[in-house]
Structure 1
Amino acid sequence: MMGVQRAEAQLFYAFDLESHVPADHLLREIDRFLDMDGMRERLRPFYSHTGRPSIDPELIVRMLVIGYVMGIRSERRLCQDVHLNLAYRWFCRLDLDDKVPDHSTFSRYRHGKFRESELLRQVFEATVERCLKEDLVSGEGFAVDASLIPADANKTRSIAARDWNPDVAREAGNRAAREYLETLDDAAFGAASPVQPKFVAKSDPAAQWTRAEESRPYFAYATNYLIDTKSSVIMDVEATRAIRQAEVGASRTMIDRTEQRFGIRPEWLAADTAYGNAENLGWLVEERQITPFIPVIDKSERTDGTWSRSDFEWDPENDQYICPEGHALRQFRRNYSDPNRGKDITGRRKYRALKSDCDACPSKHLCCPKVDARSVTREEHEDAREVARACRTTKAYKLSRDKRKKVEMLFAHLKRILNLTRLRLRGPNGARDEFLLAATAQNLRKLAKLRPTFGQMEVTA
């Protein structure tokens, strides 16, 4: 006999939301690690002591976490899914007859209390603390990298950089333009580089007109990750313009902030060539005592067949270079009464050989065939650069090169699983909020994967 489904009307229903959420559901695991302690105390100064009670800020945060963990990019759709999905309701502490907030609530909280109190950074740092408690962080080695995320800006509504100035931004009057004016002196944005891009987006002036490999130019921001290489836990995240100088500066900011917040300074740092300039290597080696597993940006090698600087031996005790024929190249041949005489303001030092030595040298055609005497420059922070070159010959460097790929895997996860292929929010603050929530979601998913309760219960049984 063919059965027929009938929905019989009942006056009372006994429905247990808890029992309808599977024991191995991702949100059950994440709920164990999402720490909301202290959130209300942090937000209390931003609320009035009179008036109607507001929507619970914890509910807003939980809904945002669902959106980024499950890759739901639309806040309208997020509200619909929370309304319909029993697991989402359970995670948000909503009963069956509880009303889901309107999508406009997110904007009011984001541009107001959350941003003023830096609540989203607190939520992110709470996940890092939980990773520390779960022994997912070793603190021995970190890796850093950046990835471009397209901004919510259109080329057809941009203007040429020569026609752009702060007055135009003031006339625009939108929130992203105001944030752009506020960050002109910020090294991560306006002050990162004096070079102006070809185009500026009126809807989001802080977004950088850039071009990635094998792609058309577009407006983008850069998300910067600092990860611990043990379990790929994201220790810090920073939003910048898509400029190398800003990305390198962000790496220093994240290293210092991680040390101040968690008391962790890595023994070594792995990164690609973009972070191998002399200033950054000097900061790592001389100021922070961090071993750099980073390829050095070096343009001293010659391509015309003559000897390069690497063919000359450095003698630190006598402050001189020794050429392959054994002649000394010195910066000064006599002592000056003024110690500052002859110093280059850029920190670069020039070492010269004697003309008489070069004239009598049998290898002059391999050294300086077009000049009377050979000279070699020594860049600022050259000692740190030599440390980085020496590190590249070690076995640890080869291991760090493989571990550095974990950052790129996180970026792939960010774009393919979390679906963060384009920003929804505009301005520097909007980029920060999105990147913080995305990094929070990735750390929570990492905790749920590596420290599951459901799997432990099965093993125990």
Structure 2
Amino acid sequence: MRGGDERTGELFSYVDLEARVRRDHPLRAIRTIVTEALLALERDFAALYSPIGRPSIPPEKLLRALLLQAFYSIRSERLLMERLEYDLLFRWFVGIGVDDAAWDHSVFSKNRDRLLAGDIAAKFLSAVLVQPKVKQLLSTDHFSVDGTLIEAWASMKSVKPKDGSGEPPTGGGRNAEADFHGERRSNQTHGSTTDPDARLYRKGAGKEAKLCFMGHGLMENRHGLLVDACLTPADGHAERVAALHMIEPHAERPRAITLGADKAYDVQDFVNELRSMKVTPHVAQNTKGRRSAIDGRTTRHGGYAVSQRIRKRIEEAFGWIKTVAGQDKTKFRGRDRVGWAFTFSAAAYNLVRLPKLMAASR
């Protein structure tokens, strides 16, 4: 017989969240890795909170919720809390019960500075990578590096002369008109009043200048996982400076390692610095109207061609971070907050890829 379309309510709930999530769901393997990483950070979390006062929402739950925001491309924390209110999968992953109320979205704003002060994003990335089942997947000899632009959360109308000589926009309303025709602007003479840490940057000839930051990633070449990430102001030297900073901890080994990079890194000072660190520079040769800093003693080896082919995989990581995790145009202001979100998204990218990699390595 045909059932009736009637809405029924129950006084008591007997829903077991563990039973509602299928055994082969990808989030199960991810949650195991995340839980182990968060346990390793327990002392770091304890140092961020006062021993007295009312209990806070556990930072472990906040971080799990932020991971879901990255995994499922949820554009705001308000929508994340709305999803957490009714999605049983989200409740299971975060670690709250069926009858527990989702917290207010402002909790993230209140706790972001605390997590930022503890450098939790970088520590979480490291805690994931040092787990034995993850560490065995990583290469310790061959790496690649690159940078990508992160558009700032600021309008070009916020770019004003630093000496205060700019004329105010004309017209009424929130989005008043501004005429930039004939005005020369540079980072030396102008700055954004909305986000002073953002810098005007032009990606190439004929491209428009935008307010940007520059995100950097260090990738191991075996499986293309990010082993380090950071964010700097956008300028012409940032990529090379960040690359040296990220590769230095890995260069403190008796064996020489390799570092793949694109033509932007083909600079004599950068190449010499790598060689002084016993890092073989597998940098793409830039011979357009100039002499490359990479000569035959590097290019004649077969490993150079392999590095040049594999180094491009770092673009897959940047593509995921900017599109799926929503970092193409950041929602935060200030270098520290934007950098925290970028590094945390790098950890989320690794977590998305790890279940299949670990299954294939068994």
TM bucket by the smaller chain?
A: 0.7 to 0.9
Deviation at 1:254, TM superposition (A): 0.7
- Kindly report which structure 2 residues correspond to 1:141-180, keeping only aligned pairs within 5 A, or say none: 141-160=142-161, 163=164
Q: Which one of the candidate residues 289, 303, 324 is aligned to 2:278?
A: 289
Alignment partner, residue 299 of structure 2: 392
Identity, in percent, stands at 27
* Distance in structure 2 (CA, Å) of the matches to 1:401 and 1:31: 34
Alignment partner, residue 119 of structure 1: 120
Q: Which one of the candidate residues 277, 280, 293 is aligned to 2:270?
A: 280
Alignment partner, residue 332 of structure 2: 425
* Distance in structure 2 (CA, Å) of the matches to 1:45 and 1:149: 31
Alignment partner, residue 175 of structure 2: none
- Kindly report which structure 2 residues correspond to 1:347-386, keeping only aligned pairs within 5 A, or say none: 385=293
Alignment partner, residue 243 of structure 1: 235
* Distance in structure 2 (CA, Å) of the matches to 1:205 and 1:414: 24
The code of the aligned residue for 1:129 comes to V
Larger Rg: 1
Alignment partner, residue 191 of structure 2: 200
Deviation at 1:298, TM superposition (A): 6.3
Deviation at 1:431, TM superposition (A): 1.4
* Distance in structure 2 (CA, Å) of the matches to 1:36 and 1:17: 21
Alignment partner, residue 344 of structure 1: none
CA contact (8 A) 2:284 2:308 kept: no
CA contact (8 A) 1:425 1:431 kept: yes
Cα distance change of structure 1 residues 56 and 448 upon mapping to structure 2, 3 Å threshold: same
CA contact (8 A) 2:125 2:347 kept: yes
CA contact (8 A) 2:251 2:278 kept: no
Cα deviation, 1:293-320, whole Å, max 9, x if unaligned, reads: 113556885xxxxxxxx8xxxxxxxxxx
CA contact (8 A) 1:158 1:202 kept: yes
Deviation at 1:390, TM superposition (A): 2.9
The code of the aligned residue for 1:204 comes to D
Cα deviation, 1:223-246, whole Å, max 9, x if unaligned, reads: 101000110010100101221211
* Distance in structure 2 (CA, Å) of the matches to 1:9 and 1:108: 36
Deviation at 1:212, TM superposition (A): 2.5
Residue 21 of structure 2 is aligned to residue 4 of structure 1: no
- Kindly report which structure 2 residues correspond to 1:301-312, keeping only aligned pairs within 5 A, or say none: none
Cα deviation, 1:172-192, whole Å, max 9, x if unaligned, reads: xxxxxxxxxxxxxxxxxxxxx
Q: Which one of the candidate residues 197, 212, 227 is aligned to 1:220?
A: 212
CA contact (8 A) 1:296 1:389 kept: no
Alignment partner, residue 89 of structure 1: 91
Alignment partner, residue 319 of structure 1: none
Alignment partner, residue 177 of structure 2: none
* Distance in structure 1 (CA, Å) of the matches to 2:57 and 2:104: 10
CA contact (8 A) 1:277 1:296 kept: no
SS of match in other structure, 1:411:
helix
Aligned residues: 339
* Distance in structure 1 (CA, Å) of the matches to 2:96 and 2:12: 19
Cα deviation, 1:182-228, whole Å, max 9, x if unaligned, reads: xxxxxxxxxxxxx8356421111111111224753211111101000
CA contact (8 A) 1:235 1:258 kept: no
- Kindly report which structure 2 residues correspond to 1:24-173, keeping only aligned pairs within 5 A, or say none: 24-34=24-34, 35-111=37-113, 113-130=114-131, 133-160=134-161, 163=164
* Distance in structure 1 (CA, Å) of the matches to 2:249 and 2:57: 32
Deviation at 1:419, TM superposition (A): 3.0
Deviation at 1:258, TM superposition (A): 4.5
Unaligned 5+ segments in structure 2 are 166-185
Q: CA RMSD in A?
A: 2.7
- Kindly report which structure 2 residues correspond to 1:378-457, keeping only aligned pairs within 5 A, or say none: 385=293, 388-452=295-359
Cα distance change of structure 1 residues 402 and 197 upon mapping to structure 2, 3 Å threshold: farther
- For normalisation by structure 1, the TM-score amounts to 0.68
Q: Which one of the candidate residues 194, 200, 209 is aligned to 1:209?
A: 200
- For normalisation by structure 2, the TM-score amounts to 0.85
* Distance in structure 1 (CA, Å) of the matches to 2:133 and 2:315: 22
Deviation at 1:114, TM superposition (A): 1.0
Cα distance change of structure 1 residues 147 and 43 upon mapping to structure 2, 3 Å threshold: same
* Distance in structure 2 (CA, Å) of the matches to 1:73 and 1:443: 20
CA contact (8 A) 1:161 1:196 kept: no
